């Protein structure tokens, strides 16, 4: 076979001058991105790079979830429920990425992790601003959680703003009221800095929706998207807990928490309690 057949010449239109920002690496700021992996173990432990990239990619996916949830909230507020449902469907796919990547970290054995765990100091996922924003945007408001971040810091200010803004469930409840559903005024005008508490009147409304889905289809479909997001979040929480259990057992977390026991308690939290309980009532 002639060597010429294994040669592919460059097409005339291919740009060779990559000095502008609008090339692949410039547009994605890859120089900055690739410079952000900085292991600090000495000598550098091979598996610390895995640990860093695992958590950095998680933060990027959660940043995108925050971006999408903010838009979903805006869409509900302007009564574009179908558009909001589509966005929540995307959020669910992002959550799948977060869930599946635990399998990569699970290749880290306890012996390997113990070789560099000490260099983390007090660093912990508990301190993730993006994770806390996701919880707040979904309705799990807890003002005590922001005390982890220094007063006056950008992270603290961001969380204060999200804490004082309506969650996806808050705007949905107001939308139900605006559409003529029998939502108590006290629920519509509640203190949104506090976590949502189960409401019997709200569940009665949602039971009616589920009993006659064809007559309430946009509401019904949106509810199921909320349930999908809740379930995906809980599966992520569970996988997180099991991954930690697999790697460090029941040791204390680097951030000072009880570790696995602390993570198990999070599995008892729910964002949309009426949507879960109505399944038993139907």
Residues at the annotated binding site?
Answer: 51-55, 113, 117, 240, 254
Residue set of the binding site for heme: 240
Structure tokens at 275: 């949507």
Report the C-alpha gap between 70 and 138 in whole angstroms.
10
Report the C-alpha gap between 43 and 23 in whole angstroms.
36
Residue set of the binding site for substrate: 51-55, 113, 117, 254
Whether 257 and 189 have beta carbons less than 8 Å apart is answered as no
Whether 116 and 72 have beta carbons less than 8 Å apart is answered as no
Degrees (nearest 5) of the Cα angle 269, 271, 275? 115
Distant-in-sequence, close-in-space partners of 169: CB < 8 Å, separation ≥ 6: 138, 139, 196, 226, 271, 272
Report the C-alpha gap between 58 and 239 in whole angstroms.
14
- 154: number of Cβ within 10 Å: 10
């Amino acid at each position: 076979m002639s060597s010429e057949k294994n040669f592919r010449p460059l097409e005339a239109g291919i740009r060779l001058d990559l000095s502008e920002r609008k090339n692949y690496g410039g547009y994605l700021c890859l120089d900055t991105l690739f410079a952000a992996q900085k292991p600090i173990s000495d000598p550098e432990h091979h598996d610390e790079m895995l640990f860093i990239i695992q958590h950095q990619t998680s933060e990027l996916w959660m940043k995108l979830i925050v971006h999408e949830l903010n838009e979903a909230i805006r869409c509900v507020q302007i009564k574009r429920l179908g558009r909001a449902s589509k966005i929540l469907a995307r959020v669910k796919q992002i959550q799948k990425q977060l869930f599946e990547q635990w399998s990569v970290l699970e290749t880290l054995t306890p012996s390997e992790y113990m070789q560099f765990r000490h260099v983390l100091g007090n660093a912990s996922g508990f301190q993730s601003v993006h994770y806390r924003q996701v919880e707040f945007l979904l309705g799990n408001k807890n003002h005590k959680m922001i005390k982890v971040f220094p007063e006056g810091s950008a992270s603290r200010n961001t969380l204060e703003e999200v804490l004082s803004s309506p969650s996806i469930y808050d705007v949905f409840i107001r939308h139900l009221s605006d559409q003529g559903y029998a939502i108590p005024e006290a629920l519509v005008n509640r203190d949104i800095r506090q976590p949502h508490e189960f409401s019997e009147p709200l569940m009665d409304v949602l039971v009616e929706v589920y009993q006659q889905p064809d007559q309430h289809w946009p509401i019904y479909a949106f509810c199921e998207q909320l349930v999908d997001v809740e379930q995906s979040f809980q599966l992520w929480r569970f996988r997180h807990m099991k991954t930690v259990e697999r790697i460090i057992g029941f040791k204390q977390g680097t951030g000072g928490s009880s570790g696995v026991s602390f993570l198990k308690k999070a599995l008892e939290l729910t964002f949309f309690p009426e949507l879960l309980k109505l399944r038993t009532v139907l």
